[in-house]
Amino acid sequence: MTDWTAVRAEDFAVPADRPLGELVSELSELLRSADPTERDSTAYSTLATWIGRGVLSGDQLRELGDEMARRFGDAEIQARTFAPLILDCIVSAGVYEASWVPPFERWYVAETDLRGYDAKLGWLHAVAHGADLLGTLGLYPAVEPVEMLRLGIGRLLTPTEHVLRDMEDDRLSYALACTLTRSELTVEDATDWLVPAFTGITPVGLSVSPVNTNTTRTLRALYVLVDRGVRLPEASDVTPVPHSAEIKAQLVEVLRLVSRSYF
């Protein structure tokens, strides 16, 4: 087994004593580890660095992406939640397969373990990690942006007893804002994805549910990004959101369901 501590200490230099394919396979398996140091500090950090530096070939990235897509059905929560992070790196590097999207979509709305941090397992962050991939796919030309917008609101409106507490709402609002910068979106595209919220949110006075809380916190953050513009990945300045006035008006109508007496 490779001394991954030494690899990190040497700025993630690729070990020369083993084939790259074997190294990637070992790191891929470590992504399933219940040990957060092995999974996060070693496997994820090394793979993300190598992908960003172009160490892996296109075929190797596709093979790794296929494995990550299968991980969405893994029995271990940490295996499921680190799969989108690696797919995010792969797609950001310019390698994309349409077959990766449906498993991601099915998992993102169906995942029931929404813990951000666990004392033993470390960071899990299903909603946040999924949001990172959602935002990258939302910007990718081959992906329909409306599909990602609907996925985001679907995740928020899925019944849960868990209240998000580790900045997941900001991560998802940023992903949605990035997707809303796509120039091909019509006014209807940019606003109609919010329609399910009118029936998915319980009106004020009846209950204060986790769904209400998670959804409204995310949409309030989204309002700010739509209003101010969003700084896309690696961009030096903010990008205006097309149809911002119409999107903000629709967001206000949704938010008034739980804040009717405030504005």
Q: Do 67 and 9 share a domain, yes or no?
A: yes
What range does the domain containing 250 cover? Answer: 142-263
> For residue 202, is pLDDT > 90?
no
Look at residue 196 and give its three-state secondary structure: coil
Mean pLDDT for the chain overall: 96
Please check whether residue 56 lies inside any domain of the structure.
Answer: yes
pTM of the model: 0.96
Whether 35 and 152 map to the same domain: the answer is no
> What's residue 207's pLDDT?
65
Paired tokens of 90: 């792969």
Return the structure tokens found at 106: 């099915």
Last residue of a domain, one of 29, 64, 97: 97
Cα-Cα-Cα-Cα dihedral sign, residues 97, 24, 76, 209: negative
Task: Give yes or no: residues 175 and 89 share one domain.
Answer: no
Q: Is residue 116 part of a domain?
A: no
The reply to whether 118 falls in a domain is no
Domain end point (choices 97, 122, 151): 97
Q: Mark whether 56 and 150 lie in a shared domain.
A: no
Same domain? 160 vs 237: yes
On whether residue 122 sits in a domain, the answer given is no
CB contact at 8 A, 189 and 150 = no
261 — pLDDT class (breaks 50, 70, 90): low
- State whether 146 and 233 are in the same domain: yes
> 93 vs 100, 168, 175, CA distance in Å?
15, 24, 18
Q: Domain check: are 146 and 200 in the same one? A: yes
Same-domain pairing of 12 and 93:
yes
Q: Is residue 125 part of a domain?
A: no
Q: What pLDDT is stored for residue 185 in this prediction? A: 98
Same domain, 84 and 164: no
The predicted-structure confidence for 135-147, as pLDDT tens digits, reads as follows 999 999 999 999 9
Q: Is the same domain home to 159 and 254?
A: yes
Structurally, the chain folds into a number of domains equal to 2
Distance in angstroms (rounded) separating the CA atoms of residues 155 and 167: 15
Q: In terms of domains, do 153 and 239 share one? A: yes
